[in-house]
Amino acid sequence: MSYDPSSLTINDPTSIAWALAWVRRLTNDRAEPLTRTNEEIAGDLQGAAFHVLNGDDPTLTYYRPHATAATLIRSDPHAVTQESIDNAQATYRNPAAVAASILLDYAWMDDLIETATGSRPASGHSFRPVF
């Protein structure tokens, strides 16, 4: 499956197609050839997913594509932050800053999950007191 922008409007965090489309959009991985396979992204989506036990039904999975995209951007070992050729230079945003912006700006995705389940996914941040 290639990038399908029509999947962006589904707004269903249980849809893998919706989640894949958002990860591709947020990581700017939309043109062929794609940087990552759908299977690679699906594995990352599972790692960031919010799982809810639903009575007698199997566990429901709610995908968090913004969290997955932020992780992929922040942890990319090949991210270029600065380059220069002859006298021309270009500086790009720090991947950690981009990831933080995505988590903040797309928190509405966690709002969808909270509305559906009554619980908000953990932010992934932990409090570590220093003495």
Q: What are the residue ranges spanned by the domains of the chain?
A: 5-117
CA dihedral 82, 87, 88, 90 (to 10 degrees): 20
| 43-82 pLDDT tens trace | 999 999 999 887 776 688 999 999 999 999 999 999 999 9
pLDDT in tens, 89-111: 999 999 999 999 999 999 999 99
Residue 57 pairs with which residues in a beta bridge?
A: 54
**Pairwise CA distance, residues 59 & 22, whole Å:** 23
CB-count exposure of residue 78 (10 Å: 0-12, 13-18, 19+): exposed
pTM reported for the whole predicted model: 0.87
